Structure 1
């Protein structure tokens, strides 16, 4: 039986909406989910200045956010697989909006950690692009997975491109507190589009047409995943992606100010990352359908290491910063389509939200370390040199661990006990 037929059997959900409408709604949700959280680094300077905090205080709150996001992501995936994507997105949007609103009133480190850390982390987990991509995997034919995943990831990137200048503009016009309140209102729009993505994982397939993946329970699939070398390597590699992305998102604007440039340069650097990531994500989705995904990932991580090395060794200017931002934008979330594609190939789309959620947990552990170590090492050394070089070393590591991954079903050649 072909892979396409297998996935069609697994994806017997009847959505009640056209695939274009599902993809459009999912992309809008990705914009509204990823946009606000990608601008939070712009709030580091005004909040720290107003309350007299060191950079480690704000960095710790956002590090908690990334860790909570990662820990909650597998549970968000399980909820989407069991109860439906729509309900999961509505719950996440409510928590996310409340977190942003409470962050707007945060005058103590503890309230900042609860709002920006715990609540926003939970909200992002239940509205993240991984939930959207899993919905795409169940509704789109396998041969179009790369394109659909690329669109969903590119939409997240557009959210960063849109919200970076929007966030800066709101801060300058209304102050940091009101800016967060306005973004909370925008996140509250997510439930309007969540209904379209209300499907859930297909019921267990039976009969002569059922494949081994069709008949496996979630616990059996999880047990198989943790025994699959290729899946474990994918987990380690995605850890590095989180480290890079979170450190740059949170600390890049302040790093640029440290170099003597206006804060607007940092905002436009984040915007350029988002803009060029649209190109990178779409290109990655297409290339992942034509070339081995594991080799594509190795190239992306190695290219990141080279880009960071050149940026910190060459004289830093406005031009070099914007070129670096554009380069990193192409390499930014371009890791997501091939990573999610490999998960779908290994285990099928039935429990993809859960399995990709586990991969994403390690991404967020990397994010936690990237954000927190950035603030901690800055306070200890007075610069970001150590964290930049650590990012270079991790990029080389990620390129190495992705190379031996095999793009094949994890059930190939295995016997898994079928339920009675």
Structure 2
């Protein structure tokens, strides 16, 4: 039986120690570690602002830069991973991430905060976040395990949020925000040994095997094909909303709750609730996308988010309502990622998956940049987050409609004719 190009990434790169289970476990551990600290950075706004007399727009700009550079760096990291393998990209990303957290712990000016929390962590995330983990899963795991693994990888990132939010609050309360950031930085270095299990073969190596590959697709051709495909463009546009909503809530929700008299410890459990219930949402969607059309799942997710925001801001905020909002948000938090990534793999195959998912993630992170940045600016100008909450509702309804026309089928390509 002939082996197709998309199967090449599933060939073992070395030995047999990297079983599918080990690949999934190590990938989930990396997703947990990389997603945990950045989901808790919103709790550093108030202690750092008090120490340096900064407005929320200062901190908001730094984390907005982080989201933007994470997005802009993602297709570059994805292209390098597709060309040279995932291992070295994840290792470099982990080192940059740790360096950014360390610099942030010593930041005393807005510029040093922008460099640490914004530039270094942003580019670090582009190299070692769950996006690269999902790419490795798509290349290393057989198709029958891929959907569940994509859901598990996304859920592991959420579990990192569940663990690191209350953990970060406890560190800040007991040891100070500088120590908390240094502990986070040390934990990021654990990604280095875990990444060995996700090593994928370089494209050049795969192409030189004795397995014939017909008409290999170039990087430029892959991009032209994707951005000329209507369904991919709609998917990318809808992903913008996901980034806008998630980044705004992650960064500004702790301060929003504090403004309404909710203590920081309770705010930590709200963010933790998002992470905990996202495990259920991500795993559930990983299974549901094998039963229902993925475009309908995405549409329901975005519409549910919009409704939950309307309910949350329309009634007085209490600890119970905040945790309930966290639980509902968690069910729809990163559950957009498994169907989005699965649709890209379905439409275009896995050869340039990291690259094409990376470009869709740019849209996600541009939305994240605007959500965080505008949140800080609007609060400093009006003393309220209300305009941003309603903008999130509008984007949610719009994305629910945008995803409906997506066609779930492999792209049609010309087949080379024999001479």
Q: TM-score range by the shorter chain?
A: over 0.9
Secondary structure in 2 matching 1:98: helix
Residue 306 of structure 2 corresponds to which residue in structure 1? 305
Q: Tell me, in whole angstroms, the C-alpha distance in 2 between the residues paired with 1:391 and 1:90.
A: 35
Alpha-carbon shift at residue 207 of structure 1 (Å): 9.9
Residue 75 of structure 2 corresponds to which residue in structure 1? 74
Residue 193 of structure 1 corresponds to which residue in structure 2? 194
Secondary structure in 2 matching 1:334: coil
Q: Tell me, in whole angstroms, the C-alpha distance in 2 between the residues paired with 1:408 and 1:217.
A: 21
Contact 1:9–1:210 (8 Å) recurs in 2? no
Alpha-carbon shift at residue 360 of structure 1 (Å): 0.5
Secondary structure in 2 matching 1:333: coil
**1:245-256 pair list within 5 angstroms:** 245-256=246-257
Query: Given the alignment of the two structures, is residue 127 of structure 1 paired with residue 128 of structure 2, yes or no?
Result: yes
Residue 169 of structure 1 corresponds to which residue in structure 2? 170
Contact 1:143–1:289 (8 Å) recurs in 2? no
Deviation string 1:267-317 (CA, Å, 9 cap, x unpaired) is: 111000000000000001111122111110000000000100111112221
Residue 218 of structure 2 corresponds to which residue in structure 1? 217
User: TM-score with structure 2 length normalisation?
Assistant: 0.95
RMSD of the alignment, in Å? 2.1
Query: Which residues of structure 1 form unaligned runs of 5+?
Result: none
Q: Tell me, in whole angstroms, the C-alpha distance in 2 between the residues paired with 1:400 and 1:264.
A: 37
Query: Which residues of structure 2 form unaligned runs of 5+?
Result: none
Query: Given the alignment of the two structures, is residue 88 of structure 1 paired with residue 92 of structure 2, yes or no?
Result: no
Q: Tell me, in whole angstroms, the C-alpha distance in 1 between the residues paired with 2:415 and 2:112.
A: 48
Q: Tell me, in whole angstroms, the C-alpha distance in 2 between the residues paired with 1:95 and 1:159.
A: 19
Alpha-carbon shift at residue 416 of structure 1 (Å): 7.5
Q: Tell me, in whole angstroms, the C-alpha distance in 2 between the residues paired with 1:407 and 1:7.
A: 18
C-alpha spacing 1:223/1:417, structure 2 compared with 1 (3 Å): farther
The worse-fitting range, judged by mean Cα deviation, of 300-309 and 314-323 is 314-323
Q: Tell me, in whole angstroms, the C-alpha distance in 1 between the residues paired with 2:174 and 2:47.
A: 13
Alpha-carbon shift at residue 226 of structure 1 (Å): 1.0
Residue 316 of structure 1 corresponds to which residue in structure 2? 317
Alpha-carbon shift at residue 108 of structure 1 (Å): 0.4
Q: Tell me, in whole angstroms, the C-alpha distance in 1 between the residues paired with 2:232 and 2:394.
A: 22
Contact 2:10–2:142 (8 Å) recurs in 1? no
Residue 14 of structure 1 corresponds to which residue in structure 2? 13
Alpha-carbon shift at residue 211 of structure 1 (Å): 6.2
Secondary structure in 2 matching 1:185: helix
C-alpha spacing 1:200/1:358, structure 2 compared with 1 (3 Å): farther
**1:35-114 pair list within 5 angstroms:** 35-114=36-115
Contact 2:9–2:140 (8 Å) recurs in 1? no
Aligned residues, how many? 414
Residue 393 of structure 1 corresponds to which residue in structure 2? 394
Secondary structure in 2 matching 1:260: coil
Q: Tell me, in whole angstroms, the C-alpha distance in 1 between the residues paired with 2:292 and 2:209.
A: 33
Alpha-carbon shift at residue 209 of structure 1 (Å): 7.4
Contact 1:103–1:115 (8 Å) recurs in 2? yes
Secondary structure in 2 matching 1:126: helix
Alpha-carbon shift at residue 259 of structure 1 (Å): 0.7
Residue 160 of structure 1 corresponds to which residue in structure 2? 161
Q: Tell me, in whole angstroms, the C-alpha distance in 2 between the residues paired with 1:206 and 1:400.
A: 45
Deviation string 1:196-223 (CA, Å, 9 cap, x unpaired) is: 11113553499997566xx212221111
Secondary structure in 1 matching 2:128: coil
